[in-house]
């Protein structure tokens, strides 16, 4: 059964798929993966469509699914998805990714500053009017990221700040980091990033989610820099004490043929900090305690009010996490706000469940 967290991770991708039929098929398979059996009536209610539409989609799915996946009707009990092995949600997305014109647009504009419309139409076998309708739908979903896709008769291109664009792509592609649809030669890039992490003496702290977040940032930054799309106009202090990972990060990007400097170097460093919610080495822990003592004092007082004076077992780590968050905000308020806004759905859940902590 797929978790609620997994559904949140894929939610932006579902928003960006402008073809209703493709989106419905994905949703049907998601529902059948999380529930053993569902009636067509229940599926219709979930999708907000008629049962006739669901019957049509199910019939189409029977012909499209891989050979080892089967849709079985159990009389009045409903429909179930069976397979010769467990099916993961990412496989559903992998199967339908290439059917979406919207995803083709997003993939093309990830690797290039602009796309030739004539070539794109020929490669994808669609008309200009069809592309225009899909781009209009996509732009409605992009407003939260302050981005727009510009379409003319000759070119497709992005309009908006490059930092906002990369935040959008990170939000979109994190669930697909292991897939070759967006990231070619994944294993080579992944091994470079893991070697980099191993060199930092992380005290054996490992969290798969944070590692995937970091690898995704590494891919996106590398791809955009090679495409000639630069980060500009960031405000930061070059002699910042917490800038201690910079040389290691520069060496990592050099393995991909990318020379980090200026704003790009700071952005890559900030992405690295943002990917990991806790301190990575004793050296940095000591550095922060020496130079940000007032944050530790205030953080400890704050945590004591939350637990009513009872220290948690991991109190020191929790305190360091809190200080690290404050330092990231000090590093760049504008970037911190952008990165926090990346998962608006998560923030909304936090605000509802933990109103006293949210502020």
Q: In the numeric block, which tokens belong to residue 256?
A: 């991909």
Q: Are 210 and 148 in contact (CB under 8 A)?
A: no
Q: Choose the weakest-confidence range: 195-209, 261-275, 315-329.
A: 195-209
More confident residue, 148 or 77: 148
pLDDT at 4: 46
CATH fold of 20-97 reads: Arc Repressor Mutant, subunit A (1.10.10)
What pLDDT, on a 0 to 100 scale, did the predictor assign at position 7? 57
Q: Summarize pLDDT for 295-312 with one digit per residue, the tens.
A: 888 888 887 777 654 555
Question: In angstroms, what CA-CA distances link 324 with 153, 189, 321?
Answer: 48, 27, 5
Residue 137 has pLDDT above 80, yes or no: yes
Confidence of residue 313 (pLDDT cuts 50, 70, 90): very low
Tell me what the pLDDT averaged over the chain comes to. Answer: 82
Domain 20-97 and domain 169-358, same fold? Reply is no
Q: Using 50, 70 and 90 to split pLDDT, how confident is the model at 156?
A: very high
pLDDT at 3: 41
User: How far, in Å, are 184, 214, 215, 249, 302 from residue 254 at the CA level?
Assistant: 18, 16, 15, 9, 41
How far is the C-alpha of 351 from the C-alpha of 335, rounded, in Å?
A: 21
**CATH class, range 169-358:** mainly alpha
Cα–Cα dist 269/245, whole Å: 7
CA distances from 297 to 56, 63, 323, 335 (A): 62, 63, 10, 25
Q: How many CA atoms lie within 13 A of 290 on its CB side?
A: 8
Widest distance between CA atoms in the chain: 69
- Per-residue tokens: 65: 């699914």
Segment 317-332 shows an average pLDDT of 80
Report which of residues 292 and 350 the model is more confident about. 292
Which residue did the predictor score with more confidence, 307 or 20?
20
Please report, for the chain, the start and end positions of each structural domain, with discontinuous segments joined by +.
20-97, 98-168, 169-358
pLDDT, residue 87, reads 72
Q: Is the pTM of this model over 0.75?
A: yes
- 98-168: CATH topology: Arc Repressor Mutant, subunit A (1.10.10)
């Amino acid at each position: 059964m797929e978790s609620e967290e997994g559904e949140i991770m894929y939610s932006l991708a579902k928003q960006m798929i402008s073809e209703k039929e493709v989106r419905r098929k994905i949703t049907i398979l998601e529902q059948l993966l999380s529930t053993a059996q569902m009636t067509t009536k229940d599926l219709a209610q979930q999708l907000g469509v008629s049962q006739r539409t669901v019957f049509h989609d199910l019939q189409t799915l029977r012909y499209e699914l891989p050979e080892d996946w089967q849709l079985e009707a159990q009389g009045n009990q409903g429909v179930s998805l069976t397979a010769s092995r467990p099916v993961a949600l990412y496989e559903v997305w992998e199967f339908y990714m290439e059917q979406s014109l919207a995803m083709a647009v997003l993939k093309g504009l990830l690797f290039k500053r602009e796309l030739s419309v004539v070539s794109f139409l020929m490669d994808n076998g669609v008309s200009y009017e069809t592309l225009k309708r899909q781009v209009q739908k996509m732009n409605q979903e992009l407003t939260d990221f302050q981005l727009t896709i510009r379409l003319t008769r000759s070119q497709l291109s992005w309009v908006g700040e490059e930092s906002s664009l990369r935040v959008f792509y990170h939000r979109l592609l994190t669930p697909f980091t292991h897939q070759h649809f967006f990231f070619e030669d994944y294993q080579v890039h992944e091994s470079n990033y893991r070697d980099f992490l191993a060199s930092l003496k992380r005290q054996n702290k490992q969290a798969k989610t944070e590692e995937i977040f970091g690898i995704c940032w590494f891919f996106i930054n590398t791809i955009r820099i090679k495409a000639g799309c630069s980060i500009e106009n960031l405000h930061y202090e070059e002699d910042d004490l917490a800038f201690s990972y910079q040389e290691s990060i520069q060496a990592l990007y050099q393995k991909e043929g990318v020379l980090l400097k200026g704003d790009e170097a700071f952005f890559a460093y900030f992405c690295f900090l943002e990917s990991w919610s806790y301190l990575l080495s004793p050296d940095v822990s000591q550095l922060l305690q020496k130079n940000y003592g007032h944050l530790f004092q205030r953080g400890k007082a704050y945590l004591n009010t939350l637990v009513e004076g009872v220290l948690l077992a991991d109190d020191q780590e929790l305190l360091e996490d809190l200080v690290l968050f404050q330092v990231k905000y000090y590093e760049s308020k504008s970037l911190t706000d952008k990165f926090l806004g990346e998962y608006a759905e998560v923030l909304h859940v936090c605000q509802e469940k933990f109103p006293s902590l949210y502020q």
